[in-house]
Amino acid sequence: MTVIRVAVAAYPVDFHPDWAAYEAKVSAWVQDAARQGAALLVFPEYGALELVSLLPPELHHDVIGMLPALQALLPEFLALHGRLARQHGVGIVAASLPVASGDGYVNRAYVIGPDGTVSWQDKLMMTRFEDEEWHISPGRGTRVFDLGGVKFGVAICYDSEFPRLARTLAEAGAELLVVPSFTGSRHGYTRVRVGSMARALEGQCYALHAPLIADAMWTYAVEDAHGMSAIYAPADNGLPEDGIVAQGEWNTPGWLIHDLDLTLTRNVRVDGHVLNWRDRVAAQERPGMPDTMALTVPVRG
């Protein structure tokens, strides 16, 4: 496969009176993207926390107490996404949620194949609110997923701001970097946006940015979230000069659906105006490179 149609969600948080309402919403979103021919559907970070609406009201603002309660909904969550992936023949990066792991919890994005197989990528770098308030633990390891010959990796929100993580995925074969995000301000959104664009530049690959949209004062978990869906690429031959392949509107829910031509990024890697992909090795490893140790030089005037 050299062209893949992707669907990148700007996904809104809703209050659901029961499981049937949540199931109907997710089913409609998946059906909509599948009918438009999308093969890979990307939901945002912590989008599954709208399931908090199904918990007792006393847990809606209790970010510690809600964590074990959410685990009871996990089997139905996975069954729903597996069924939808099989029904529509699509790959789904499901909205992430806290999942029990070891003695604590990780922020996990499940990746569902068209045959219903389930894998996942855990977030590796914790933001302050995850660490200090939620006590979410870092996951371990990176994974590359193969969808019909197209390989992609997942860098959840803050993870996109660390070059080495994305480089590990790219060097393992990923040509798409999926970035689900949850950001409560333009500051946060911009950090993830800039990080994603930088990772696309460094790896000469596509980056898919799927944000959460929320105005949910009924839960402290995801009460406020902002952003717009976007797809980034290296600014080089055959690709947009500003590095933005497509983007939605600010704080506007919906799918961003676009065909990605992998021959363009593959060609840029071997014959672009610059060769970041090739030169990444030279930047750190080529013998004879100048000493890269930073020196402190006093300046007097």
Q: What are the tens digits of pLDDT across the range 13-65?
A: 999 999 999 999 999 999 999 999 999 999 999 999 999 999 999 999 999 99
- Are 48 and 66 within 8 A, CB to CB? no
For the chain, percent of residues with pLDDT exceeding 90: 91
Two structure tokens written together for 249: 């509107």
| Cα–Cα distance measured from residue 78 to residue 67, given in angstroms and rounded to the nearest whole number | 17
Q: Which residues pair with 261 in a beta bridge?
A: 3
Q: Which of 113, 99, 107, 115 is nearest to 41 (CA)?
A: 113
Sign of CA dihedral 152, 153, 158, 161: negative
pLDDT of residue 77: 98
Question: Would you list the DSSP string of 214-240?
Answer: EE-TT-SSSSEE----EEE--SSTTS-
pLDDT over 70, % of the chain? 94
Q: Which of 41-45, 93-97, 284-288 has the lowest mean pLDDT?
A: 284-288
Q: At what angle do helices 262-271 and 276-284 cross, to 10 degrees?
A: 50
Per-residue pLDDT at 288 exceeds 80: no
pTM for this predicted structure: 0.94
Q: What is the DSSP letter of 111?
A: E
- Please tell me the predicted confidence (pLDDT) of residue 226: 97
DSSP class of residue 95 equals: P
Given a cut of 80, whether residue 296 has pLDDT beyond it is no
Using the 8-state DSSP alphabet, how is residue 58 labeled? G
Q: CA-to-CA distance for 169 and 257, rounded, in angstroms?
A: 23
Is there a contact between 218 and 15 (Cβ–Cβ < 8 Å)?
yes
The whole-number pLDDT of residue 285 equals: 62
Predicted confidence band of residue 293 (pLDDT cuts 50, 70, 90): low
Question: What are the tokens at 147?
Answer: 């969808």
Could you tell me the two tokens for 241? 């000069």
What is the pLDDT at residue 280?
A: 82
φ, ψ (nearest 5 deg) of residue 273: -60, -35
Integer angstrom CA distances of residue 233 from 106, 153, 266: 29, 15, 12
Pairing of strands 97-101, 118-122: unpaired
- Report the largest interatomic distance among the alpha carbons of the chain, rounded to a whole angstrom: 72
